[in-house]
Amino acid sequence: MTKKNLIAYTVIALMFGAMGAYVGTHRKEAAGPLTTTVAPGVTGPVDALYKQSLPDAAGTTRALAQFKGKALLVNFWAPWCGPCVQEMPELSALQAEGVAKNVQIIGIGIDSPSNIAEFAGKFKIAYPVYVAGMGGTDLSRQFGNSAGGLPYTVLIGADGQVKKTYLGRLKFDQLRADLATL
């Protein structure tokens, strides 16, 4: 990595961190994440997701098309995002306990491959984690994350349609209710 790239990544990380800190301190906890329901038939971002081949935390490139035909919970996150890290154990438990037996959870990390690999090595994550770098921000924007905030989670039905999006730390009682409607 060149010094110029390192400086650019550092500046971007600091911007996201500042934005996360601002949102975290100016948000009412009881409000929960912002959620939206996408109009039925919207599949463009899902098609873009399935066209991606991303490296996992170990560096092995995987085609996300492997998840076609399965309900999917896509969590955009970063290791430096406090709310992202806080919800990961709950997402792992949800995947492991089988509540989401018909839903595959995946994480799309918005950071460098080395940072995501280091994070994944420290924490036991029960679902696949992929490295998208800053391209993950563009992909999340296609799903309606116009602010570029993290965490950002997308619930996709087995039919390939976006069912709901969540900006901010997940409220797991609401998520479980949403999963039950699939």
Q: Following DSSP, what letter does each residue of 103-118 receive, concatenated?
A: EEEEEEE-S-HHHHHH
**Mean pLDDT, the chain cut into blocks of 10 residues (182 residues total):** 60 52 45 45 81 95 95 96 96 82 92 94 92 94 94 96 96 93 87
CA neighbor of 120 nearest in space, from 55, 73, 172 = 55
Residue with tokens 């906890």: 29
**Pair 139, 48: CB distance under 8 Å:** yes
**Bridge partners (DSSP) listed for residue 53:** 63
Give 98's contacts (C-beta < 8 A, 6+ positions apart): none
Phi, psi of 128 (to 5 degrees): -65, 140
CA neighbor of 153 nearest in space, from 94, 125, 163, 14 = 163
Please tell me the pTM assigned to this model: 0.77
pLDDT for 31: 43
